[in-house]
Structure 1
Amino acid sequence: MTCCEGWTSCNGFSLLFLLLLGVVLNAVPLIVNRVEEGEFFQNPISCFEWWFPGIIGAGLMVIPATTVSLMARKRASCNHRSGMLLSSVLNVITIIGAVYCVLVSAQALLKGPLICNSAGNSTSSCEFSLDNISNIYPEPSDLQWYFNESCVPPKDFLYPTLNDTVANAGRRQSLHFRSKEDAYKTIHFSVFLGLLLVGCLEILFGLSQIVIGFLGCLCGVSTRRSRIV
């Protein structure tokens, strides 16, 4: 096995792991939303998980290159010059999908979960357009929504004239809301930070396979050994 074949096999297994990880990460907020609300699109954690950056960008768009890379190992059906060239070409699709995943994840990290940005906290406040992916807003680039104690204005001071009973009830509601806020913030930050790293790694592996694939096409691969009967 030549170094080109060995590196191609390594890239294939690495991309396989990353695409599975991307799908799992993207599914986490969707599953949480389904378990808590009993139906999809009801009080979602974020608008951006519905762009499916891990399922489409880091997942489905990576499958063709991953399949060919794994098949380009020694004694596999794509172990020839054309197979190595095909692995390079298909990794262009991998890079496009990974860039999509990175852009959506970066935007999600900058904007924060819906609970920090929308009083309605539903997909009715989501704006699904391609402009939202390409426009990376410079603020708040310091992730204040995550590091602040709370990203939601306190509700205890809205009605200072209420009696103690109503105030205590409102305080309990605020505490319950606070725990939900913490959970949504943690899930949102963990999921999209993970997807951002997955996308970046897929870009690196995709670029390396493009180079290795062209080298394998130019230099050739190892020939199959004839079976001795």
Structure 2
Amino acid sequence: MCCSVGFARLLGLALLPLALCCILANLLLLFPMGEITYIQQDRLASYIWYFGGLGGGGLLMLIPAVAFITLGKCSCCWNESLMMCGSVLAAIIGLLGSGYCFAISGLALVQGPHCFTSYGWSYPFADQRGRYLLQPEIWPRCLQPLNIVEWNVTLLFVLLGLAVLEFIICLLQLGNGLVNAICRPCCYKQEYSLNA
């Protein structure tokens, strides 16, 4: 049990910086090139307002991170099984949060940025289903905010990568917690019968 608790704590410690990076990446999306005028004028892409990185990959991910780190503070055997069940629930919350972050970031990438073109403010790449990502020569269609395509693509790919890492970590703890929640009572009964 000590090994599984230590493993869970390591996973929790790994989740913390990932969650903070998701929050930071999402906040940077709100301020293209560090400018505040576009958020004030409501000129941001619609999916950015769904806060995939801030909510799903960030704040929601703090729940499993804290749950995994604080696992095993009580030495009572019944509480160990109960804590592992709690870690399974926290891992499921983490899977949902990272899945949400991944989905919103992917949809935002497919939609493309909201920017000013020669035809006014629009989504110039929305009808391309993400093909614009492989055609950097058409990115200059967006005149304002300056370099918005590069800004969004970079940050959204960062969010996608972080969401995948968070998902893997929560999946590992889900397996760890399920194995220990199921096997620990069995092992405890075997130990009890051997001592009797």
Letter in 2 for 1:52: F
Which residue is 2:57 aligned to?
58
Question: Which structure has the larger Rg?
Answer: 1
Which of residues 155, 158, 166 is equivalent to 1:202? 166
Q: 1:77, 1:49 → 2: CA distance?
A: 41
TM-score normalized by the length of structure 2: 0.77
Shift of 1:63: 2.0
Which residue is 1:181 aligned to?
146
- Relative to 1, partners in 2 of residues 1:3 and 1:55: Cα closer, same or farther, differing over 3 Å? same
Which residue is 2:157 aligned to?
193
For the 8 Å contact 1:9–1:70, the answer to whether it is kept is yes
Shift of 1:104: 0.8
- Relative to 1, partners in 2 of residues 1:188 and 1:80: Cα closer, same or farther, differing over 3 Å? same
Which residue is 1:17 aligned to?
17
Shift of 1:148: 2.0
Moved more, 196-205 or 139-148: 139-148
Which residue is 1:101 aligned to?
101
Deviations, residues 127-168 of structure 1 (Å, cap 9, x unaligned): xxxxxxxxxx99433334761243528xxxxxxxxxxxxxxx
Matches within 5 A, 1:1-229: 2-32=2-32, 35-37=35-37, 40-42=39-41, 44-73=43-72, 76-77=73-74, 80-115=80-115, 119-120=120-121, 139-144=128-133, 147-152=136-141, 177=143, 180-182=145-147, 184-220=148-184
Structure with bigger RCO (C-alpha 8 Å, 6+ apart):
1
Which residue is 1:158 aligned to?
none
For the 8 Å contact 1:8–1:72, the answer to whether it is kept is yes
Q: 2:141, 2:158 → 1: CA distance?
A: 24
Query: Secondary structure at the residue paired with 1:105?
Result: helix
TM-score normalized by the length of structure 1: 0.67
Q: 1:50, 1:109 → 2: CA distance?
A: 14
Structure 2 alignment gaps of length 5 or more: 186-196
Q: 1:84, 1:25 → 2: CA distance?
A: 32
Shift of 1:189: 0.7
The number of residues matched between the two structures is 179
Query: Secondary structure at the residue paired with 1:44?
Result: coil
Q: 1:77, 1:206 → 2: CA distance?
A: 22
Shift of 1:43: 5.0
Q: 2:111, 2:121 → 1: CA distance?
A: 16
- Relative to 1, partners in 2 of residues 1:150 and 1:207: Cα closer, same or farther, differing over 3 Å? closer
Structure 1 alignment gaps of length 5 or more: 126-136, 154-176, 222-229
Shift of 1:99: 1.0
Letter in 1 for 2:166: E
Query: Secondary structure at the residue paired with 1:181?
Result: coil
